[in-house]
Structure 1
Amino acid sequence: MTGSQPGRLFPSTSIAGFAFIALFAALPAAAQQKSKLPEGPGRATTEKLCGSCHGTNIFVNRRESREGWSGVVEDMIQRGAKGDDDQWGEVVDYLSEHLSKSTPVARVNVNTADEKDLAAGLGLPDSQAAAIVKYREQNGKFKTIDDLLKVPGIKAAAVQSKKGSIDF
């Protein structure tokens, strides 16, 4: 196993990384969507290296410390992500500055966002994002989370887990 310690199947930082990879697998369409990453030095490199496999929108609302992002990047490298040390350093610098634990989570207004923004911003499948837009067009603006939960096909757990990112 190249890049891992002998006798260890996963490095200690890979539990969070493994969960992160599971999220990537659940959202393959995100790679096709326009990046929602904040402007700043390192954004292009982050989009190039991370976006080549899974897109960047799936982690735009994630917040980690420098150590946390370093662990995620190391896990991606061990899983085959390509880039040189300088590029990966630039990615960690960018993520640590723009998506740190002290950076506010991007919010999505469910009354004005289109399907793509709902899907990317809330991590919803395209079908659920489309259902939200359709329901909104037929029934008017949402005022509360409870209103949003009335949308047919919306999973309550998914909405509840993102309620801190939802504006009305």
Structure 2
Amino acid sequence: MNKYLIASAVILAAFAIPACCQNLPDGPGKEATAKVCSQCHELGRAISLHQDRAGWQATIQKMVSLGAMASPEDFEAILDYLSKNFPAAEPPKLHINSARPIDIEAALTVRHSQALAFVAWREKHGPITSLDQLKDAPGIEFAKFESHKDRIVFDQPSVSANSGPAPRY
């Protein structure tokens, strides 16, 4: 009876990796990724991150420190595979005239108090139409705005009859 149990386990294990791989894009490193990453967690968890190469490298190093085991060649193949197939998403645009403090805080990596001060200034001075106007904004260094200028949109906030001031969170 034990022989059958062991044989069944071996057969199931042989099919486990191909089953894991079904949702992954084809390419070099796919099987190594499925094999190594699924030892500790679901593959969906691993691929949901969408990072640049440096981010994937840091994640792999963290997993190694937590006990992930594979050859250096496999880890390199995994890094190449994840970097190619699950790259970082394009950061969202920052609609500077309607962004909430939390959006400004996240987009510019500033403190919440700085984002609140900016929104108060924006509400007092009206819509911003150019990057140059942001030089006068209190609490946030102009360099922060300038370093994200490709993401900043200077659209006019839409106003409806039922809208009040933007929420402050």
State TM-score, norm by structure 1. Answer: 0.48
Q: Could you tell me the TM-score, scaled by structure 2's length?
A: 0.47
Task: State the structure with more CA Rg.
Answer: 2
